Structure 1
Amino acid sequence: MSTTPRRTVLSRGSWPEAQRIGEILRKETVGGALLVVATVLALIGANSPLADAYAGLRDTVVGPHVLHLDLTLGEWAADGLLAIFFFIAGLELKREFVAGDLRDPRRAMVPVLAAVGGMAVPAVVFTVVNSGGGDALSGWAIPTATDIAFAVAVLAVISTHLPTALRTFLLTLAVVDDLLAITIIAIFYTDRLDVVSLLGSLAAIAVFGVLVQRRVRTWWLLIPLAVVAWALMHASGVHATVAGVLLGFTVPVIRSQAAGGPEAGPGLAEHFEHRWRPLSAGFAVPVFAFFSAGVTVGGFSGLVDSLQDRVALGIVAGLVVGKTVGILGATALVSRFTNARLDGSLSWWDVFGASLLGGIGFTVSLLIGELAFGAGSVRDEHVKVGVLTGSLIAAVLATIVLRLRNRTYRKLYEQEQLDEDGDGIPDVYQRPAT
């Protein structure tokens, strides 16, 4: 009989990590609200007498022809502003695996495998729905992405005291999801490749990396280098947002020994994250949403017509069913085959609710849809309807499930805030792990 102690799946983690996750989610809540507002404005603009003005603004060309930078405002939002979003994602992921709780491979395994399952199953669902559909299969990756800003906005509306372990799980899953999505974009949605431009971009990223590793923070050096890296990546044919992730990976997480080492305070990655997250969540992503979510629905009949396209149906099924089955299933398999048990304060209904939240796809899903079918095409319009419909259904179902557990969450929240010894650290984080 095995005496190997069982470890915990989705355990609470450390207090510093809980503080950091809480701070990130508070900022994402504001960004999520702005994202919702931008989406509503885009839908109003595209389905009102302002439709021509909206389309004219989105399609206005700005920029020099050099390096193919004569782009429409919509393309600038997708290729340029989202690079900031993915830069933050790169910083977050490196921070998690270098200095966060997920530097322990056993803790990292759960959200990483959940993210993989949450991308693989929706892709399979989309492919099954569109089997025999010709070019429709090029959109297989659309339902694979989770939009953390929208998910957090839903949490804010629910007003639930979601347990720290689930919040950490959801955020980390979404960050890993973003990394996998940008990898898919780089590999499967690159039609042409200019090797010289690509090498130039990588060289600029390398110089940027050398400077930040030496703790250089001089903006007039780093920002021009980042812009050059982005522009050359764009000219190479690889999606320009890839440069954002690679730049984020170069930034050191831990302070140098000369500066006092890990105990001396936050490193350069956290410094950059504080500086750039407000721009990403408060401006870059909402502007992208404004230019990308403006689908002309054409009333109820138009909505029905769009959803008759198997591409839209595959997206809805992938986001609602595929995401939930993939995330929940991967987490259950980890628990089943690694001698692990779910944290005693949680139930599988909580994981089910978080998995439904993972089906809220938006930012990256819309981006992949544009790359798969071409911005402004009929199929791209159907993609937008599918993404919005699937995300809405997932949000409603997640709201129902998590609201039913809200009383339990409130009790857990009160326990997590209890600090009887007055040392500033809740007592629950000072108990020995079980």
Structure 2
Amino acid sequence: MAKILLSNATILTMDDKGTIYDKGYLVIEDEQISEIGPQESLEALGGLEGYEVLDCTDKIVMPGMINCHSHMSMIVYRSLADDMPDRLNRFMIPLEDRTRTIEMVEDGTYYAAAEMLMGGITTVVDQGGEVEVQAKVFEDIKMRGVLSETISSRNFAETFQKSKDFLANWSNHALVTPSITCHAPYSVENEHIVASHRLAREYDVLMQMHLAEMVYEFSESKKHYGVGPVQRLDSLGVLDEKFLGAHLCLASKPDLEIVAKRQAKVSYNPGANSKAAKDIAPVVDMHLLDIPVGLGTDGPMSSNSLNLFGILGLAARLQKLRYMDRSAFPCELVVRMATIEGAKAIGLENKIGSLERGKLADVIIIETESVNMMPIYDYYATIVYSANASNVETTIVNGEIVVLNKHLISKNLQDLRKNMLLHHKTISKVAEQLYVEIEEKYDLSQKLNY
């Protein structure tokens, strides 16, 4: 039985009232938060003998962050072809087709999970492959995940069956929450989208999909279906309160009105969107329509980093730039998007996302002694614009300490790195061949922003 006491902490609860304890305590019993409050009321509790005590003097305690969109196993490809036009179709898909193995998925997932846990992310929504292998990684490394097999029409029978098996085998797990992913409107046919949605509703789980992300996604949709991708999905009846759309950086105002009407959710991924020169998602408009929006890093090949702290500041800056409004996207809102609003986007707000009695104990402790953290006048501004992943000192998931004093303790990091790098030679060889093929086939001077 886990019994942990965090004392003398600055606690950002992220509850509905925005409660902050400048000097407070938090008690964890088993997997739950059992008590939280101002430090002066701690003595009145009594009966705290035998607790592991973490002194959080000059430290910030907040909910573990939620990464609402990623492709973790692709970390093995990080830093390849970053400046290539149309990289997805020309390079990423062929590379994965030629190199991916079950061992690669496992090793990549372990290493990506380590990076996220050490950077304060306790929950990730991942669109992957070989999902049951990934689920076992999450169970072993002790991270919370909303996981899925990525369904596409080119291998529908296989990926749909894997999705069904995953839902049957991993329901009601403490750390792993199954979901359904259709890759994107341009890669999944109508009948397959409908079948996937039907399966998601049968099991009452989240359905994920890349949406309103690519320029050609709109032209192809209008060519084949007469409407844009958001309208197309709406006509199929798959947009609902348990639908999470990744990106929507090219969504129009009418598109967003449909999303709001259907009570669907969005993951905002500014790192990957800006790196791929797509567009700045209209998130201020989403908020005006009361659309729940979480934050995502996207995959470590798309944004190259699984550091959600970097996304916080970028998300705010880009929204201010898009709307030419310095007051847009205030810091508290950004932190809420990384915590409780992210939880709402994935339907887990009753379990995680804020520090409250009875909620699951997903908690991070941020040190403030590093040179980048002082002085502090505004806690939220410090987290959004000053903090980074290296300031995370302790990470607790489901009541268990998995990172302590900036060291991963749930697994050996050196072993995870060694295993992940076993694939480097194979990937490098295939990548070099792909570069040659692409240069022979395409005019790389042509500007294509996807």
TM-score past 0.5 threshold: no
- Bigger proportion of residues as helix: 1
Say which structure, 1 or 2, has more relative contact order (CA 8 Å, 6+ apart).
Answer: 1
The normalised TM-score by structure 1 is 0.29
